[in-house]
Structure 1
Amino acid sequence: MAEAQRIYLAKKDVEKAEWISPPPSAPLVPKSNLMSETVEPNGNPVQFMHGQFSTKEQKFRCYSCLPKRCRNFYCRCLVWMFCVLLLFIVAIVIAASILYAVFQPRIPKYSVDNVQITGFSLSLDATVSSQFTVRVRMTNPNKKIGIYYLDDSYLGVFYTGTEICRGELPAFYQGHKNTTNLNLVLTGTNVQITSEMVTLLKEQKQLGSIPLHLKADVPVKVQFGKVKTVKITFRVHCDLVVVRLHEDISVTISTKKCKVKL
């Protein structure tokens, strides 16, 4: 009787254990997809799970798995590329230094010597029509450099930020140590201005102090010996103060200041 009871209890424990234990199930991801294998240079296989290493670490492991001869080749290539780039930069610096020492380039000088107003009218609808004749002095101070002035230049006269007339420079060649004076005609027709600008202009005409701004974009090619550069543009800005804006009279310039930039 005792033996039968012990057998019953054993079967009951077994059934309870089977009821508690979950049935075995297949893995969600096949093992072959979780594991990867690579071979080190010494021939030993190495397994690791995907996601165990970051992308940077995996690239490093791949690089470390390359034969030593290949790694040395890549390193030598990088060193040679760096050396060639460094030599190229040094050669450019040396060539520029030699050119500067030989030719001693200097930026041309520009100034406005005279302004003559051949037409200026202010309409009741706050429009301005004007025609200026401006004498521009252009100086090339270089002893060994010539300047080719190109087409498509621009020259404009501004009053309080508004362009009132415009013109352009002619195309010509300026030799070494040369000064050229040009009389340039600038015109503007029915330029709209504000009522505040009209009031300000009348006040400044009475005071005899009218500020004008002359702006020029001058495309040129510079010649070093027999070699011409690509097209570069000089930016000229001149601040002028004239005493009046009367027609057919050479206007007196009380203040003038010009700057040149590339």
Structure 2
Amino acid sequence: MAEAQRVYLVKKAVWKSPPPSAPLVPKSNLLSESVNPAANPGQGMHGQFPTREAPRYYSSPPKRRHNFCCLCLYWTFCLMLLFIVAIVIAAAILYAVFQPRIPKYSVDNIQIMSFSLSSDATVSSQFAVGVRATNPNKMIGIYYLDESYIGVLYAGTELCKGKLPVFYQGHKTTGNLNVILTGTNVQITSEMVALLNEQTQQGSIPLRLKADVPVKVKFGKVKSMKITFRVRCDLVIDRLDENTSVNISGKKCKVKL
């Protein structure tokens, strides 16, 4: 009989690792049964996904050139303002010291040297106009310049024109100026001819004298820039006969700058 087979039982050793001292994953990161991943896309199967911090951008500091331009503009504005203030103060001082007044002008007499009205309604004329110019200022002289204009108009049409003489007028003085005005072949309308004939019969012919007088004003030893006095005189004369001194029945003059 064959030898009975022996069975040997060997007890297998089981190695038991010691329990961990701390959990590998914090309990707060574990997925709770009440969390719905679809409703919280920021959570995964093992908890919330870590979020990445948005990058921060830093603006570069302003350039020095920009600051320099702003500084230049600021100082330029300040200098211009100071310059304007200085001019205003100087003008106020000059006005207070010299007390400037506008000159006065008037028409003393008019002599008709020639006046002809042709059949084609053209007028040729020459007037001698006596103008009185008065400087009322005590400390201001007036230089009359060469670019002046003086003319006589009828119904808005210039009949003749001329220029004032160039001269210097001192303080508190009055000058009598005799100015020759000439006009040749000045065209007027038939209505103006009829009106002129009617007014001549009535002895009341309205004329308008216009003068643009460029001058330079002298304050002490200082001479100003060119300024222009605008003289407008409304006159009424009795006739336009040649080689006669007409009677001025009405005159009114205004002077503006």
- Report the TM-score, using the length of structure 1 for normalisation: 0.71
Pairing partner for 2:118 from 120, 123, 129: 123
Once residues 122 and 152 of structure 1 are traced to their aligned partners in structure 2, the CA distance between those partners, rounded to angstroms, is 30
Note the aligned Cα RMSD (angstroms).
2.1
Q: CA deviation at 1:172?
A: 0.6
Once residues 158 and 70 of structure 1 are traced to their aligned partners in structure 2, the CA distance between those partners, rounded to angstroms, is 64
Q: Give the match for residue 89 of structure 2.
A: 94
Gaps of 5+ in 1: 1-43, 47-63
Q: Is residue 181 from structure 1 mapped to residue 201 from structure 2 by the alignment?
A: no
Once residues 155 and 130 of structure 2 are traced to their aligned partners in structure 1, the CA distance between those partners, rounded to angstroms, is 22
When Rg is computed on C-alpha atoms for both structures, the one with the higher figure is: 2
Q: CA deviation at 1:123?
A: 1.3
Q: Give the match for residue 11 of structure 2.
A: none
Q: Indicate how the Cα distance of structure 1 residues 163 and 45 shifts in structure 2: closer, same or farther if over 3 A, else same.
A: same
Equivalent positions of 1:39-78 (< 5 A) are: 45=57, 65-67=60-62, 77-78=72-73
Once residues 88 and 95 of structure 2 are traced to their aligned partners in structure 1, the CA distance between those partners, rounded to angstroms, is 11
Structure 1 counterpart of 2:80, which letter?
L
Once residues 72 and 231 of structure 2 are traced to their aligned partners in structure 1, the CA distance between those partners, rounded to angstroms, is 49
Q: Is residue 135 from structure 1 mapped to residue 135 from structure 2 by the alignment?
A: no
Q: Indicate how the Cα distance of structure 1 residues 65 and 260 shifts in structure 2: closer, same or farther if over 3 A, else same.
A: farther
Structure 1 counterpart of 2:110, which letter?
V
Once residues 164 and 226 of structure 2 are traced to their aligned partners in structure 1, the CA distance between those partners, rounded to angstroms, is 16
Q: Indicate how the Cα distance of structure 1 residues 201 and 87 shifts in structure 2: closer, same or farther if over 3 A, else same.
A: same
- Report the TM-score, using the length of structure 2 for normalisation: 0.73
Q: Give the match for residue 153 of structure 1.
A: 148
Q: Give the match for residue 243 of structure 2.
A: 248
Once residues 70 and 183 of structure 1 are traced to their aligned partners in structure 2, the CA distance between those partners, rounded to angstroms, is 67
Once residues 68 and 165 of structure 1 are traced to their aligned partners in structure 2, the CA distance between those partners, rounded to angstroms, is 69
Once residues 191 and 67 of structure 1 are traced to their aligned partners in structure 2, the CA distance between those partners, rounded to angstroms, is 72
Q: Is residue 230 from structure 1 mapped to residue 253 from structure 2 by the alignment?
A: no
Once residues 138 and 218 of structure 1 are traced to their aligned partners in structure 2, the CA distance between those partners, rounded to angstroms, is 11
Q: Give the match for residue 259 of structure 1.
A: 254
Q: CA deviation at 1:77?
A: 4.8
Q: Indicate how the Cα distance of structure 1 residues 132 and 65 shifts in structure 2: closer, same or farther if over 3 A, else same.
A: same
Structure 1 counterpart of 2:256, which letter?
K
Equivalent positions of 1:191-210 (< 5 A) are: 191-210=186-205
Q: Give the match for residue 139 of structure 2.
A: 144
Once residues 65 and 116 of structure 2 are traced to their aligned partners in structure 1, the CA distance between those partners, rounded to angstroms, is 82
Once residues 132 and 217 of structure 2 are traced to their aligned partners in structure 1, the CA distance between those partners, rounded to angstroms, is 19
Q: Give the match for residue 49 of structure 1.
A: none
- CA offset digits 1:155-209 (Å, max 9, x no partner): 1110011111111111111001010001111111221111111000001111111
Q: Give the match for residue 7 of structure 2.
A: none
- CA offset digits 1:89-112 (Å, max 9, x no partner): 221111110010111111111100
Q: Indicate how the Cα distance of structure 1 residues 254 and 79 shifts in structure 2: closer, same or farther if over 3 A, else same.
A: same
- The structure whose residues are more often helix, as a share, is 1
Once residues 151 and 116 of structure 2 are traced to their aligned partners in structure 1, the CA distance between those partners, rounded to angstroms, is 18
Q: CA deviation at 1:87?
A: 2.0
